[in-house]
């Protein structure tokens, strides 16, 4: 019987965190085996940012993360925005910063980032094996890693960088969670994150395809009120766009107790919407409702608002009652929607929940349950807002873990 090959480090998953970890370990002189079940490395990275790869954000900070932000803070402390930019520039990736601090490769293609990482790994001696799904990992004196094919490998250190179950069409599975559980870890229940929302109000389909810059408020009047600013996209089933995607992880957890209410403020830049409406009425007193909202709201939004507020379409705005004015003002500043569910995993960009971070050393990402095991990226109970924050965390995890591994 052949003795399994011995490596210093075996990394399961050639995604964002796995590739960075493999490269940094190899640069430190370690013999590295990178196992990937797909026939291509970093498939999720390739489709990220609509194929452009929003690889980091100039404004990245701990407030951009949910789940276990304290662990995210430790990673950011060791792998800052400046560190991330220096890392990719050193790989030869040219970048450009766009609106809201988002950073993309200058080529406009995610393959520029993925190929730079893959080539650097190969040049530094990383052994990459594609189509190699891990079936089992056992910890004895060393780690014994068994593939579905029956092949076995031994390593001094093992890294789980398998990604989450989000986006199964590009490789998302629960395999990483199962491997972590087999090595003593507990999993915080998983919910889709950066996911669009199914809402109760069927009339939202009248706004399908319309985009607007808004503020979205979740939990008004509670200790957990969360506000997000950005673009919203109305769909035939409900709401999408960054302004709601960034709330979806929190909403997913709250939905376990029943439907969740959110409010949309169409004019967050206006401090007193009622005063604004009253002044507009003085300017255009002889207009009817539809014409009154021209230049102020998308026509379809205006029509739905008129119906929602029960405004008589032939009444001049100068004849609106005080109750009508208050109702219009309140609705424009806090239009309520009832979230019934999140969209399916096939549409979720990332996962909320994951390996319980209380079982992870925040400074090194080494398991507190299984010495020599490191757990990275989206497998952990950390999820970020849209805008490059999740990829930054993944790169950072790979960097931190590789730095923390003892020298041979």
Tell me the pTM: 0.93
Average pLDDT for 105-124:
98
CA nearest to 42, candidates 110, 132, 93: 110
pLDDT, average across residues 27-35 = 98
Mean pLDDT of 11-40: 98
What's the mean pLDDT in 78-87?
A: 98
> Has residue 3 got a pLDDT over 80?
no
List, in sequence order, the alpha helices (H) in 159-209. Answer: 175-182
Query: Hey, which residues does 6 pair with through a beta bridge?
Result: 154
What are the structure tokens assigned to 294, written together? Answer: 């021209």
d(CA 26, CA 31): 6
Residue 5 CA to residue 33 CA, distance in Å, equals: 10
Model confidence over 252-274: pLDDT tens digits?
Answer: 989 988 899 999 999 999 999 99
Give residue-wise pLDDT tens across range 117-160.
999 999 999 999 999 999 999 999 999 999 999 999 999 999 99
Residue 2's pLDDT is: 67
How does pLDDT run across 341-387, given as a tens digit for each residue? 999 999 999 999 999 999 999 999 999 999 999 999 999 999 999 99
Closest CA to 160 of 2, 24, 75, 34: 34
If you average pLDDT over every residue of the chain, what do you get?
A: 96
Q: What contacts 24+ positions apart, CB below 8 Å, involve 72-80?
A: 72/382, 72/384, 72/393, 74/362, 74/363, 74/400, 75/365, 75/393, 75/396, 75/397, 75/400, 76/392, 76/393, 76/396, 78/363, 78/396, 78/399, 78/400, 78/403, 79/392, 79/395, 79/396, 79/399, 79/400
* pLDDT single digits (tens) 295-312: 999 999 999 999 999 999
Domains in the chain with CATH codes: 5-191+347-404 (3.50.50.60), 196-342 (no CATH)
pLDDT of 246 > 60? The answer is yes
């Amino acid at each position: 019987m052949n003795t399994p090959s011995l490596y210093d480090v075996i990394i399961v998953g050639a995604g964002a965190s796995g590739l960075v970890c493999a490269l940094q370990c190899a640069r430190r002189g370690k013999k590295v085996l990178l196992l990937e079940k797909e026939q291509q490395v970093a498939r999720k990275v390739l489709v990220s940012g609509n194929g452009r790869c929003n690889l980091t954000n100039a404004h990245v900070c701990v407030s951009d993360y949910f789940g276990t932000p304290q662990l995210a803070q430790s990673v950011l402390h060791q792998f800052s925005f400046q560190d991330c930019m220096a890392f990719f520039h050193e790989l030869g990736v040219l970048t450009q910063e766009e609106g809201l601090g988002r950073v993309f490769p200058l080529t406009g293609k995610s393959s520029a980032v993925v190929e730079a990482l893959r080539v650097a790994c190969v040049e530094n001696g990383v052994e990459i094996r594609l189509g190699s799904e891990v079936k089992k990992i056992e910890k004895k004196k060393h780690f014994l890693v068994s593939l579905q094919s029956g092949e076995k490998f031994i390593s001094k250190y093992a890294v789980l960088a398998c990604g989450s179950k989000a986006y199964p069409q590009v490789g998302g599975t629960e395999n990483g969670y199962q491997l972590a559980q087999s090595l003593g870890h507990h999993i915080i229940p998983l919910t889709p994150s950066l996911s669009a929302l199914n809402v109760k109000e069927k009339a939202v389909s009248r706004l399908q395809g319309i985009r607007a810059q808004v503020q979205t408020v979740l939990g008004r009047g509670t200790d957990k009120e969360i506000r997000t600013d950005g673009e919203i996209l109305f769909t035939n089933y409900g709401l999408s766009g960054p302004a709601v995607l960034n709330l979806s992880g929190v909403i997913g957890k709250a939905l376990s107790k029943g439907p969740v209410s959110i409010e949309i403020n169409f004019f967050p830049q206006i401090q007193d919407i009622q005063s604004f409406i009253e002044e507009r009425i003085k300017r255009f007193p002889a207009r009817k409702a539809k014409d009154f909202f021209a230049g102020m709201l998308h026509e379809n939004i205006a029509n739905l608002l008129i119906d929602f507020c029960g405004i008589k379409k032939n009444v001049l705005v100068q004849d609106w009652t005080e109750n009508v004015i208050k109702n219009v003002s309140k609705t424009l500043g806090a239009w309520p929607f009832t979230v019934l569910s999140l969209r399916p995993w096939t549409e979720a960009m990332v996962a909320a929940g994951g390996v319980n971070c209380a079982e992870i050393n925040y400074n090194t990402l080494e398991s507190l349950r299984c010495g020599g095991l490191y757990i990275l990226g989206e497998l952990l109970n950390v999820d970020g807002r849209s805008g490059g924050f999740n990829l930054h965390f993944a790169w950072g995890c790979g960097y931190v873990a590789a730095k923390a591994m003892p020298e041979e």
